[in-house]
Amino acid sequence: MKNLNLTDKEQSVLTNLIDNLYAEPGFSDVCAEDLSELTGLNKNAVGGVLTSLQAKGIVWVSEPEYWQGRIEIPAIVYLCQKYYYLHPDKYWQEECTE
């Protein structure tokens, strides 16, 4: 990840996101709150880092889903397909070459 020119906070958030992607490529159930807990950064800091990682095209964040005015499903953070090669699982790496 050194060639991505990431800040320490971006590196931490991205590493923790990748470490918690456990299913098939393209799937995620990791939200900003999870990343806050995993990195020790407060929610506002994680939000800023995610905005920066989105601007760099490395991750994308879904819209939260609401039910009766309350968040039912939080915004989920996804690794963009172009960066699947960063995942240590060979299955993910194969997906980025197809």
DSSP output for 28-87: ---BHHHHHHHH---HHHHHHHHHHHHHTTSEEEPPPEEETTEEEE--BEEE-GGGGGGS
Answer yes or no: is 98 within a domain: no
**How many folded domains does the chain comprise?**
1
**What CATH number should be reported for the domain holding residue 24?**
1.10.10.10
Spatial CA neighbour of 63 closest among 77, 50, 52, 53: 77
Whole domain around residue 44: which residue ranges? 2-85
Give me the pLDDT at residue 71, please.
76
For residue 3, the Cα-to-chain-centroid distance in whole angstroms is 18
What predicted TM-score, i.e. pTM, was given to this entire model?
0.88
- Sign (positive/negative) of CA torsion 31, 34, 38, 43? positive
Residues 28-78 have pLDDT tens digits of: 999 999 999 999 999 999 999 999 999 999 999 998 888 888 877 789 999
